[in-house]
Structure 1
Amino acid sequence: MLVWSKVISVDEKNFVEERFLSMAQTNAVIKRLSGSQKLQVEVYLENEKEAQRLKKELGGKVNKLEYKNWAKINASSNRPLIKIRDKILITDNSDSKELKKIKIRYPKKIVISIPAALAFGTGDHATTSTCLRMLVDIAKDHQKKKKQWSLCDIGLGTGILPITASLMGAFKVEGFDFDPEAIVIAKRNMVINSIDGINIYEQDLFDWSPKKGRTWDVITANIFANVLNPNLKKIWSLVSENGHLLLSGILKEHHDSILKNAKSNGLPIPELHCKGKWVSFKFNNC
């Protein structure tokens, strides 16, 4: 395993997001350097040629990733707690004693531990946080109506959306990702958060074919437009009556392509949520 890394300014963050995240580069990590306004970008690669190509194109350096570095990747960065509405607190601390302290300090909150890892979705990126807010609002509505609900997460990454759904009362939860590393990380995060019963499996969305008649009350997909558009009709057909489809991970320049595709496939006009250069959609099947 190799790691390409480069220190950048905060102003360069948008470029990095477009360069890596919009390409579905799940092995890209951006972190703030302690006591500095600088950010460090790291991309983890198996291929030497690809690593050197990044170095030639963008500068930076390439190093061999020693085994001991994996502990650093998954360790807590002591980042501030991430608040989602008035209900959820997300921490990257996975130490059981520290988690207990946080839960005691915030007894009315649901505390979720999502350590930094080589999978997308730790709660702090605009796409994930927006999707979480929409999901929490839906969950609170179901709780108010005392209605059972189910969720399927497409491209689960760290598993943060299925884990949140489960802790917010969803009775049947599942999620899949084409990346086997994401499956390992999501299952690990289930253990950290003392959750079982979520069906997590490896699956390519393009080959996904649920059993006839199978639907979900909520389907979430925090993935990119080039993957969503060819699969949007299929995904929408699996949303239950009065259910919801939450789409995130879409750059503003791809906003029109999603809307045009949605209209041509008979989807209703969605609610739009914009944050920075990212757009999220909520389609209501009612």
Structure 2
Amino acid sequence: MLVWSKVISVDEKSFVEERFLSMAQTNAVIKRLSGSQKLQVEVYLENEKEAQRLKKELGGKVNKLEYKNWAKINASSNRPLIKIRDKILITDNSDSKELKKIKIRYPKKIVISIPAALAFGTGDHATTSTCLRMLVDIAKDHQKKKKQWSLCDIGLGTGILPITASLMGAFKVEGFDFDPEAIVIAKRNMVINSIDGINIYEQDLFDWSPKKGKTWDVITANIFANVLNPNLKKIWSLVSQNGHLLLSGILKEHHDSILKNAKSNGLPIPELHCKGKWVSFKFNNC
């Protein structure tokens, strides 16, 4: 595996995120450098030609990364705690002693450990944090009504959404990703967070065909519009009555195409959440 890396300014962050949308497969991590206003972007790739193309176009450097060194490298991250509503705290610390200290310090919070990794979704990106807030609100409503609920996450990345759902009371949780490395990372994060009841598997959304009659109370899809649009009708058909579809990972310029597609397939008018250049949708099936 190869890693392309470059130190960038905060102002360049949006450009870097959008730049990666054009790549066939990108595993990007953006970290704030300790004691600095600078950020370091790292992109992990199997394809040397793609890595060298990034270096030629954007500068930076390319290094070879041994698989066995991931955890050690990512453990050096020093990201501040991320707060989601009044319920969730996300840390990138995976040390059991440090996690225990955080849980003691915040006894009323659900503490989730998601180390910076090769998969997308550590909680600090606008798309992930918005999806988490919507998910937490739904979970709290189910808890208040003492209702059981299920979740399927499409494009699970680090597994942060299924892990959050499980810790907030979902009785049946599953998620899939087309990237085998994301599966490895999500399963590792389940172990770190002492969770063993999530069904995680490798799957391409375009080939996904659940059993007839199977539905979920909540479906989350933090994926790009070019993948979402061709599959939206299928995804919506799998949302239970009175259930919810949460869509994120969508740039504002793709907002109209999603709404037009949703309307043509009979979806209701969604709740809209905007953050920076990103937009998220919540469709309620009621």
Shift in CA distance, 22/124, structure 1 to aligned 2, threshold 3 Å: farther
Give, in angstroms, the shift of residue 21 of structure 1: 4.8
Give the Cα separation in 2 of the matches to 1:26 and 1:56.
17
Per-residue deviation, 1:70: 2.2
* 1:105 corresponding residue in structure 2: 105
Residues 26 and 118, structure 1, Cα contact 8 Å, conserved in 2 = no
Deviations 1:36-70 (A, max 9, x none): 21112221222222221111111222222256742
Whether the 8 Å contact between 1:248 and 1:279 is mirrored in structure 2 is yes
Q: CA deviation at 1:231?
A: 0.1
Contact 2:205–2:231, Cα closer than 8 Å, also in 1: yes
SS of residue matched to 2:201? strand
Give distance in 1, aligned partners of 2:91 and 2:183: 20
Quote how far apart the aligned CAs of 1:24 are. Answer: 6.8
CA distance in 2, matches of 1:255, 1:240: 24
Tell me, what secondary structure is at the counterpart of 1:135? helix
Cα contact 2:31–2:79 (8 A) shared by 1: no
Cα distance in 2, alignment partners of residues 226 and 281 from structure 1 = 16
Q: How far apart are the structure 1 equivalents of 2:264 and 2:66?
A: 50
User: Which moves more between the two structures, 132-141 or 3-12?
Assistant: 3-12
- Give 3-state SS (helix, strand or coil) of 2:196's partner: coil
Larger CA deviation: 215-224 vs 26-35: 26-35
Give ranges in structure 1 of 5+ residues lacking alignment: none
Contact 2:84 2:133 in 1 (8 A): yes
SS at match of 1:68: helix
Q: Residue deviations 1:156-193, cap 9 Å, x none? A: 00000000000100000000000000001101111110
> How many Å separate the matches in 2 of 1:73 and 1:207?
34
Which TM-score applies when normalising by structure 1?
A: 0.97
Please show how residues 160-175 of structure 1 align to structure 2 within 5 Å.
160-175=160-175
1:44-59 aligned within 5 A? 44-59=44-59
Q: Determine the C-alpha separation between the residues in 2 that align with 1:33 and 1:69.
A: 20
Work out the CA distance in 2 between the residues paired with 1:195 and 1:71.
19
Deviations 1:240-269 (A, max 9, x none): 000000000000000000000000000000
Do 1:76 and 1:115's aligned partners in 2 also have CA atoms closer than 8 Å?
no
| 57-66 vs 103-112, greater mean Cα deviation | 57-66
Query: What is the CA–CA distance in structure 2 between the aligned matches of 1:284 and 1:272, rounded to whole Å?
Result: 12
Given that 2:9 and 2:39 are in contact with CA atoms closer than 8 Å, whether structure 1 keeps it comes out as yes
The verdict on how the C-alpha distance between 1:112 and 1:21 changes in structure 2, with shifts beyond 3 A counting, is farther
1:147/1:68 CA distance change after superposition, 3 Å: closer
Structure 1 runs of 4+ with >6 Å offset: none
Alignment coverage as a number of residue pairs? 286
Query: What is the root-mean-square deviation of aligned Cα atoms in Å?
Result: 1.4
What's the CA shift for 1:22? Answer: 6.4
Structure 2 stretches lacking a partner, 5+ long? none
Q: Check 1:151–1:67 CA distance in 2 against 1; reply closer, same or farther (3 A cut).
A: closer
2:136 is aligned with 1:136: yes
